[in-house]
Structure 1
Amino acid sequence: MIVASVGSVGASAIPTAGGDALDFLGGYLIARAYFFGPPALDTFVRVLKVLVIIVVMVAVADSLTGHMITNNAPEKSGLRDGWVRAASTFSHPIFFGVFCALTAAVLLYWQKTLLSRSVAAGVCLLGCILSLSSAALMAFSIIVAAFMYDQLLRLYSWRWSAFWIAVGTLMLAVLVVTAHPLNWVFSHLTFNPQTAFYRVMVWDVASAYIAQSPVIGYGYQFNDVNLDNTVDSIWLVLSLRFGVPMLVLFFLTNVAAFFPSGRDSKGADDVHLDQMRRAFTLVLLMFMFTGLTVHFWKSMLTFWGLCLGVRASLRELTNH
């Protein structure tokens, strides 16, 4: 990220690019250093559970008071159809909603009883609803569906192979049947059709800029009213700023954390660790999926790196 920015913009880009890189890498390194092994992982999840309760309580206060009590964003940015979009302690309501959805994946697999899982999922769902974020609600729905699928078919080893075949078939159908696959995806990931149309337009404009400098990226300023305003996709932002090779490396970094190693291990038969591997695999997949319509930065980018580090540690436990 830093090298690409220096190549496209110059040394003046080092602080900005370095900050972005440190947000992600810092979370990853902290997770690799401190959350290795079941005791440390359980401590992390317990803190995460308390944290999601606190931020949802703050979000409820946002909704009851009619304004974002801990957020300095302009009032109009927190409204949707006249309703306050709760942001809690996050810099944007979408970040808060997606955080709640991703936390639901961890707690569903970590909790042991039906009651505790239901309560945890209910708290996270409330956060998604209060954020009024379609990305958060979509991610939460997929997470719950995947968890229920896993639980119902847990006695069948072929369930995940069948799952990925079904997902691959759906993706292929979208590519073949629809004239504009991204338009179809965005129209199903957003509440407002106008928002979907705007996102497609931004992708079309951004693609032209990426084509001008695909290797090291175009930079941070584009002199375009759309791109300089907002680019609601981390995949698009990374391509614009740092080039396609960096995007590929970022994608492979995530996949490498949960890709099966095919090697026997002492931790492979640990039911609890196996459950947590699935949980954090879901988290990474949902980060990658919601990233199509959300640009993550600062705390959420750090949380992404943190979850990536936890999943990498869980994968490493299977290789000892």
Structure 2
Amino acid sequence: MTEYGVRGKWIGLSIILASLFLPTHFEVASIRFTPSLVVLIFAAPFAAGLFFAQRQRIRLPDVLIMAFVCWQGLTIAMNNPGRFVEFTGQQTLMTLGGYLIGRTMIRDARDLAALIRIGGAIVVFSLPFALYEALTDDPIVLLWIDQYTGFDTFIPNDYEPRLGLHRAQWVFTHPIHYGLLGAFFLPLVVLGLRGADRPVFRMSCGLLIFSACVLSVSSGAILAAFLQAGVYIWYRLAKLFGPPWRIVLATGAVLYVVLEAITTKSAFFAISGRLAINPQTAHYRTLIWDYGSAQVVRTPIFGNGYNYWPRPHWMVSSVDNYWLQQAMVHGVPAVACVAGALVYAVVAVNRGQDNDAMRLAWTLFLIGFAMSAATVAIWGEIQTLFMILFGAGLWMLPRKAIAPNVRTPRPFSRNIAPRLTRFPAGQTGSTA
């Protein structure tokens, strides 16, 4: 790629990333638009064209993400046909568009390192605003936009303080999404930039990024950060004894089975309930799981859409569990598509031999997402950001070695050259 091409790529990617952090929205023909959706309308077709222009090999995650978007559209057409056009358009742009942007515009370690630096800088930049919000309960950016511009913005959340802090949402619709922003970039900055930036700089940035998780005062984001750190330590210890990921998976599975055996409820809810900042929230999530999973059993294939599902009258319809919410709305096949793409990517990427630090950082990012997604719904700008980061790591998938096109020499034979004879072909002469 030429110098102008590289510069144009990063200008475009910077515009895409910046649009994810503009907390405004407007309506056109009763359809809600955000700056990121407007940018994706132009960027997603470009990324799709670039994917085919690069003649990339189609991998299983490509197929599964496409199948996920198509299945979402099918289930909404069946369950909520009035929402089909708006929903399918938005989900295609945010999910498939974000994925293709990361897949096509991040092609090597240098590209991914540059993307990580931009994301880490955004998180650090947000800290003064988030700290002010956590101390005063004033989402200063949202208030400025509401008071001094003509644009609509997100509704400020009004939650009870936790640990003496108000929950900072910065420019997102929910504080947990701000916490997830920090959890996404924490391993990517601390480990992914190893060898590119000095350890002191990476660790300092890591502490600042972890502060974003804390200022959101969200159990899911903070637990994701601790899980990433725990798995990293576990990985380093396991590496002393053999194949690290096999040991981590085997010991983790044994530990989970033991916890399932000694607890009266699911091991995940037993752990998250004891570590939750607000025990009432943990109990409510257990109820969501009980009633939500019952709905999945009733409509396992095509889901229930956004229709009513049986629950106590005092429970709201929102589901604070991305995996459960996808199964309830779109059916188990939707969850299988996303989970299959993530599992395949993690397994295949870690079969590679190069970029060990980058592979480990990206794997921890996905592990943190998988866990935190069980405690919150994922939508909007944070969904797009995740898909960009997910697609951005797939260049690390190992490529099959292509055998050189060298002709194998034929064995020497005296019969190769034509023989000169006075007899016709197929006849044998006689000497009398």
Aligned letter for 2:134?
A: S
Aligned to 2:287: 201
Closer, same or farther in 2 for the Cα pair 1:187/1:50, shift >3 Å?
same
2:227 to 134, 142, 147: 142
**What are the ranges of 5 or more consecutive residues in structure 2 without an aligned counterpart?**
1-71, 143-153, 403-432
- 1:1-320 matches, within 5 Å, as 1-10=72-81, 12-71=83-142, 72-77=154-159, 79-80=161-162, 83-109=165-191, 110-112=193-195, 113-151=198-236, 157-181=242-266, 182-222=268-308, 225=313, 228-260=316-348, 268-270=352-354, 273-316=355-398
Counterpart secondary structure, 1:229 = coil
Bigger Rg, structure 1 or 2: 2
User: For 1:255-307, what per-residue CA distance to the aligned partner results, in whole angstroms no more than 9, with x for missing partners?
Assistant: 121213797xxxx443xx22111111111111111111111111111122112
Counterpart secondary structure, 1:84 = coil
Question: Is the Cα–Cα contact under 8 Å of residues 349 and 359 in structure 2 kept in the other structure?
Answer: no
State the shift of 1:95 in Å.
0.9
State the shift of 1:155 in Å.
5.7
State the shift of 1:308 in Å.
1.4
Using the aligned pairs only, state the percent identity: 25
State the shift of 1:169 in Å.
1.0
Q: Which has the higher helix share?
A: 1
Closer, same or farther in 2 for the Cα pair 1:262/1:98, shift >3 Å?
closer
Closer, same or farther in 2 for the Cα pair 1:14/1:230, shift >3 Å?
same
TM-score for both structures, normalised by structure 2 = 0.67
Aligned letter for 1:93?
A: P
Question: Is the Cα–Cα contact under 8 Å of residues 305 and 330 in structure 2 kept in the other structure?
Answer: yes
TM-score for both structures, normalised by structure 1 = 0.88
**What are the ranges of 5 or more consecutive residues in structure 1 without an aligned counterpart?**
none
Q: Distance in 2 between matches of 1:78 and 1:156?
A: 47
State the shift of 1:161 in Å.
2.1
Q: Distance in 2 between matches of 1:120 and 1:65?
A: 25
Question: Is the Cα–Cα contact under 8 Å of residues 5 and 219 in structure 1 kept in the other structure?
Answer: yes
Question: Is the Cα–Cα contact under 8 Å of residues 238 and 248 in structure 2 kept in the other structure?
Answer: no
Aligned residue pairs total 314
Q: Distance in 1 between matches of 2:135 and 2:296?
A: 44
User: For 1:113-135, what per-residue CA distance to the aligned partner results, in whole angstroms no more than 9, with x for missing partners?
Assistant: 33123202210121111111111
Q: Distance in 2 between matches of 1:14 and 1:228?
A: 26
Higher mean Cα deviation, 176-185 or 310-319? Answer: 310-319
Question: Is the Cα–Cα contact under 8 Å of residues 178 and 213 in structure 2 kept in the other structure?
Answer: yes
Q: Distance in 2 between matches of 1:290 and 1:84?
A: 20
State the shift of 1:157 in Å.
4.3
Q: Distance in 2 between matches of 1:158 and 1:119?
A: 31
Q: Distance in 1 between matches of 2:306 and 2:345?
A: 29
Higher mean Cα deviation, 284-293 or 4-13? Answer: 4-13
Closer, same or farther in 2 for the Cα pair 1:74/1:80, shift >3 Å?
farther
Higher mean Cα deviation, 26-35 or 301-310? Answer: 301-310
State the shift of 1:310 in Å.
1.6
Q: Distance in 2 between matches of 1:183 and 1:8?
A: 30
Q: Distance in 2 between matches of 1:18 and 1:135?
A: 29
Question: Is the Cα–Cα contact under 8 Å of residues 86 and 93 in structure 1 kept in the other structure?
Answer: yes
